[in-house]
Amino acid sequence: MKETIQARAAAHGFDLCRIARPDIAARHAEALHYWLGSGMHGDMAWMLEPDRLARNTSPSSMLPCVKSVITVGMLHSPPPYSLAKAESERGRGVIASYAHGDDYHDLMKKRLKALARDLDGLLGAHDQRVYVDTAPVLEHALAENSGLGWQGKHSLTIHRDRGSWMLLGELFTTADIEPDEAATNHCGTCSACIDICPTKAIVAPYVVDARLCISYLTIEHKGLIPRRLRPLMGNRIFGCDDCQAVCPWNRHAKNPAINLLNTRAENNLPELAILLQLDEEGFGQRFRKSPLKRTGRARLLRNVCIAAGNSADSSLVPPLLASLDDAEPLIRAHAAWALGRLSNEENRASLLASLKKTAAHEEDDKSHEDMVLTICEIKDNLI
């Protein structure tokens, strides 16, 4: 029966499928409490909600009488370029490879629901729930418990043969299915992911401080990016693949046989100048069905402004100047910072004049404060 279930999962596009009991090992629960207690969740205050926290550490609470959790992994294509190539394309932005196509949340949830219907035919009707990323489920811990892969030092799930370029989902069911053996850890003494992290967000093996993580900063964080972290972000505008790109277990990772995420060429190192010119309608059209749409235009262009500031590309000054008039204070503040980074002896006076004029009319307190700091840095030639 397990082989039949795995075959059905494969038919629905899931490359990996394992079975676990609805339990979380004590060490994972302890790690979560330590992480939250240390404030490493940043401004994701919802993670502290008592009901959510209880569900995180007790999967059996997600569905009455649940007996089994089917964990699935859908492989996605690694970045079609090297880290060195991505960093050298300073006038272009880097988008995490899983987000080069359609939003996996919607795609995987539909396919998990189809798998649930298949289970009713195989095992008889049972209560079932499907989850993809957004629910209070410790998906990496369950994946490890099911034998799908172990949780690496970068906190992501690694499969011994398929690597870590995968997306996870879970199907909770009241059906009693024989579980698989838990995965064992094979990271050994390797510290490649820790060493490569641009912001040193992996503060200890298996511990990622979201407040430093580029994925969190570019996707989840809603406000101004801390100024000290902006130069470290390089040209990453949505997520970050660095820790996976250097993982030895990904050396032989291959593209999935079928690209269900419908990867789009326009998301492969997009031009920053073009992105800076997107209005709300253009943003909605370009990123329709894309994970980037969840971030919203203001946050994405905030990230694009930072990448532009790190580009050393003076051709980006005109679109950044235009961004000083944007309706979003988040964009205005980061455009000002980027212009400060691109200031030089030739344009310093004119940029200062533009920034002073913008700051004088800035009504958002935090954005105004950030602009003033940029102006002072330009004056003192600290940039």
* pLDDT tens digits, one per residue of 117-152: 999 999 999 999 999 998 899 999 999 999 999 999
Look at residue 380 in the predicted model and tell me its pLDDT: 85
pLDDT band of 227, cuts 50, 70, 90: very high
Name which of 219, 251, 117, 245 is nearest 171 in CA terms. Answer: 117
Mean pLDDT, range 337-355, rounded to an integer: 96
62-89: pLDDT as tens digits: 999 999 999 999 999 999 999 999 999 9
* Distance from chain centroid for Cα 154: 13
264 — pLDDT class (breaks 50, 70, 90): very high
Task: Provide the token pair at 331.
Answer: 């964009």
What pLDDT was estimated at residue 254?
A: 81
CA dist 94 and 270 (Å) reads 7
Give yes or no for a contact between 330 and 367, defined as CB atoms under 8 angstroms apart. yes
pLDDT at residue 257, as a whole number? 83
pLDDT at 258: 85
Which sign, positive or negative, has the C-alpha torsion 304, 309, 310, 316? positive
Q: Of residues 133, 180, 313, 364, which has the active-site annotation? A: 133
- Taking residues 153-165, what's their average pLDDT? 96
pLDDT confidence of residue 253: 83
Distance CA 35, CA 42 (A): 10
CB 307 within 8 A of CB 281: no
- HEC secondary structure over 5-51: HHHHHHHCCCCEEEEECCCCCHHHHHHHHHHHHCCCCCCCHHHHCHH
**pLDDT of 255:** 84
**In terms of pLDDT, which residue wins out, 380 or 338?**
338
Of 97-106, 160-169, 181-190, 254-263, the poorest mean pLDDT is in 254-263
**Tens digits of residue pLDDT in 196-226:** 999 999 999 999 999 999 999 999 999 999 9
From 138, 133, 129, select the one nearest 25 (Cα to Cα).
138
Structure tokens at 325: 């008039």
- Contacts of residue 152, defined as CB under 8 A and 6 or more positions apart, other chains included, come to 158, 164, 187, 193, 206, 247, 249
253 vs 196, higher pLDDT: 196
Cα-flanking dihedrals φ and ψ of residue 330, to 5°? -65, -40
Position 310 scores a pLDDT of: 98
Q: Which two tokens stand for residue 289?
A: 């069905």
Distance in angstroms (rounded) separating the CA atoms of residues 365 and 340:
19
What is the pLDDT of the chain when averaged over all its residues?
96
Domain ranges of the chain: 2-76+101-173
The mean pLDDT value for 87-111 works out to 96
| Active site (annotated) includes residue 133 | yes
pLDDT of residue 382: 66
